[in-house]
Structure 1
Amino acid sequence: MELKIRVILPTVVDVFVEEAIQEFKHYVSDAVEVQVRNLDYGPASVEGEYDEALCVPNLLEKAIEGEKEGCDGIISLCFGDPGVKPAREVVNIPVVGAGEASMLYASLLARSFSVVTVLPNVVPMIENISKKLGLHSKLASVRYVNIPVLELVDKKKMEDSLFEEMVRAIQEDKAHALVLGCTGMMGVATTLHEKLKDHGYDVPVIDPSFASAKMLESLIAMNVKQSRLTYMPPTQKLYK
């Protein structure tokens, strides 16, 4: 049976769309069709609470549209997990956020983990996600490479900066696993793991896009979705 998932990039620019399409082909099985959609209106990137608030309305519309078009699950492809909780209230298919998925996987594999993200603006957001997940005690640190999301297309600069901060996270913060703190950091996790291993640190490096894909695929295979005791449908009222 073929499955269909919708990956929503919560930005109005399409700079990461083609890369996401190509990467997700490697993340999921051949029986899964992947739709990648970006927003019609909202921010160019999500680098703070304001950006997140602006991207949520159209993200929810895209999620509802995906369910109506027969999708079996939804991914909010941003480490801040924008719109994940409200989307769980309005659709009857599983919804996964890249941030929560990657932190949950990291917590399975190590006693502590660090997230290496883009800018200092998003550090509080990531810390809040770890608290909501009940994983804050395992979060060794949140570090950043000081590269805006839209400049992550320079893969060499991104990879070098990530490696430097990952080594510091291991040596100074006692991290036993590393999480890439932005879904724009696709395609570098394996290389970073090998570089760390060559330097004597055999620790997992979690790609949030990959983590969200496999988590959603597992939930669909298990035929489970969000609890209606936790995520109750919105009450009937006027919305304008």
Structure 2
Amino acid sequence: MKIRVLLPTVVDVFVEETIQEFKHYITDSVEVEVCNLDYGPASVEGEYDEALAVPNLLEKAIEGEKNGCDGVISLCFGDPGVKPAREVLNIPVVGAGEASMLYASLLAKSFSVITVLPNVVPMIENISTTLGLRSKLASVRYVNIPVLELVDKKKMEEALFEEMILAIEQDQAHALILGCTGMLGVATSLQESLKERGYDVPVIDPSFAALKMTEGLIAMNVKQSGLTYMTPTKKLYK
């Protein structure tokens, strides 16, 4: 099984960390290739960034299928390019935001997403609406840390924990989702810290969720429906 993981950013700050993090998730039967963009934004923190990321992401998704990949992941919580990629690929395409919310909806009656900036809050709310899960979305909170500054793990984890407590106590969240795929390597420790505070709730890592959902779809030999995601009509593209 071979999965292509696409980081919708032109900087490589998260590439090596993502590769190392995914080694904790995969089994020997799964090969993961991680790549970022040749052109596009440095990070996705709004609809404009997402629009700029999509063209090259689609090119790399198509390239992945041609090179024998069995599935593609758009590794960004905003799920850039997921829907158009589903129209042109014959392998499953999974977005980290969708996968996270679907898992959380199985585990709890309500969930909150803790993300980076207020800019992305409407994007996350829109994803929950499209999935039919808006009624389960207790809140979208943010730590006010730009994506490229998430390399400061201590600062990030402390800010996440503070917002998670508020999500539980004020918003009645019963599950929590890390709202950015740059929030690597902290889900387990945050879940344990919350349990020490008396809150036995799941904390969903979006990268882990996207990978396991993609693995499952490949193993089941299913992909996105051709009736929902129809092949684009033939026309001039310039």
Distance between the aligned counterparts of 2:102 and 2:223, measured in 1?
Answer: 17
Q: Choose from 100, 103, 106 the match for 2:101.
A: 103
Q: Deviations over 1:91-115 (max 9, x none)?
A: 1000000000000000000000000
Q: Would you say 1:47 and 2:45 are equivalent positions?
A: yes
Q: Choose from 164, 167, 180 the match for 1:166.
A: 164
TM-score by length of 2: 1.00
Q: Which residue number in structure 1 is paired with residue 57 of structure 2? A: 59
Q: Which runs of 5+ in 2 are unaligned?
A: none
Answer yes or no: is the 8 Å Cα contact 1:140–1:173 preserved in 2: yes
Distance between the aligned counterparts of 2:26 and 2:229, measured in 1?
Answer: 27
Q: Would you say 1:217 and 2:215 are equivalent positions?
A: yes
TM-score by length of 1: 0.99
Distance between the aligned counterparts of 1:7 and 1:35, measured in 2?
Answer: 6
Q: Choose from 114, 124, 127 the match for 1:126.
A: 124
Q: Which runs of 5+ in 1 are unaligned?
A: none
Q: Percent identity?
A: 84
CA RMSD of aligned residues (A): 0.4
What is the DSSP-based 3-state SS (H/G/I as helix, E as strand, rest coil) of the residue aligned with 1:27? Answer: coil
Distance between the aligned counterparts of 1:105 and 1:29, measured in 2?
Answer: 20
- Where in structure 1 do 4 or more consecutive aligned residues deviate above 4 Å? none
Distance between the aligned counterparts of 1:132 and 1:28, measured in 2?
Answer: 29
Q: Deviations over 1:112-149 (max 9, x none)?
A: 00000000000000000000000000000000000000
Q: Would you say 1:192 and 2:190 are equivalent positions?
A: yes
Distance between the aligned counterparts of 2:39 and 2:207, measured in 1?
Answer: 22
Q: Deviations over 1:174-231 (max 9, x none)?
A: 0000000000001000000000000000000000000000000000000000000000
Amino acid paired to 2:205:
D
Answer yes or no: is the 8 Å Cα contact 1:45–1:150 preserved in 2: yes
What is the aligned length? 238
What is the DSSP-based 3-state SS (H/G/I as helix, E as strand, rest coil) of the residue aligned with 1:26? Answer: coil
